[in-house]
Amino acid sequence: MDIQNIINNIPKVELHCHIDGSIRPKTILELALTGGIDVPFFNIEEAKRYLQITGECNSLKDYLDKFHFPVRVMQKKINIYRIIMELIEDSKMDGIMYTELRLAPLQHLKGGLSPEEVVETVLEAMKDGKDKFGVVSVLILCSLRHEPVEKSIEVVKLARKYISKGVVAIDLAGNESDFPPEIHKKAFDLAYEYGINITVHAGETGICANILKSIIDLHATRIGHGVFAYKDDKTLVYLIDNHIPLEMCPTSNLQTKAISAYCEHPIRTYLKNGINVTLNTDNRTVSNITLTEEYMNLISKLDFSMEEILQLIRNGINSAFASKQFKTTMLEKFNTYVRELPEICKN
């Protein structure tokens, strides 16, 4: 029995996927060449060397360098619209029924767009993507660690304008090693006051303390990555007792040197210990991974059982920034599929 095909067809969700890290290389090449953007690559194989982790990557900082050209082609409405539609199509092919996509809107203003135009273009494509591909997608707006807190406040106020129109949360992303979460506390206090959902990248590098800082000081109800939670018992207990979901992305963590080998990733230990872990790609293009492939990695490299795979999918559905009613709908769709699987595939 083809387990990969089964996993691909199980209705899944993805909670941590960056748009600019998930653009088809062919699309970046075409948009750069037709748009007169100066790039050092002129065919698809050359492009992949600049856009994907194909060799050694020494840190998260090196990993983030891969976003330079994707951001450059995302400065026009027509380009942003196309990229979103293609990403939703890719999600459909990956068996995803619901995806939370992330974007740092203030990075896309160099072509003359306003922050509102950036967000509205994404939301328009998401609506059309749902109509065409049947995938529900929503938007998380990211502020960036290296930017001043005033920029994060701008992102929070932007999110508030669209919170009932497709934007579901805000996030803090970027260089965790040099910019601790407390720098942006004022902005996230404001988001909390507005009632906006909050997720924060934390514990992606070796700084475990950032996890509790993000939850307590920045009001995060979900944590992006959280790999290094194991370094502090207090953090582990807090995550378990408060049912804080971790948006885990093992291939990305391997590439950024958060782990030295895939088999060392703590995701299975966390799951067994009662932490609410979910599985995600982080950046489909940069990490050169699909969600189905990531689930297969868990089976082949961490000896996950199908029962554990199904639990991860349930965790993702239950942890989504979606209404209780819509989560129930997704769980019903998931359960219907699982009930039809042969018993051998559920163990």
Q: How far is residue 108's CA from residue 142's CA, in Å, rounded to a whole number?
A: 12
Out of 14, 147, 204, 247, which one is annotated catalytic?
A: 204
Give the Cβ contact number of residue 131 at 10 Å: 8
Q: How far is residue 100's CA from residue 14's CA, in Å, rounded to a whole number?
A: 6
- CA Rg value for the chain: 19
Q: Which residues contact 13 (CB under 8 A, 6 or more apart)?
A: 96, 97, 98, 99, 100, 313, 316, 317, 320, 330
Collapsed DSSP state (helix, strand, coil) of residue 173: strand
Catalytic residue at 182?
Answer: no
> Which position has the token pair 């019903």?
332
Give the Cβ contact number of residue 161 at 10 Å: 13
Listed residue (124, 155, 173) closest to 21, CA to CA: 173
Catalytic residues: 204
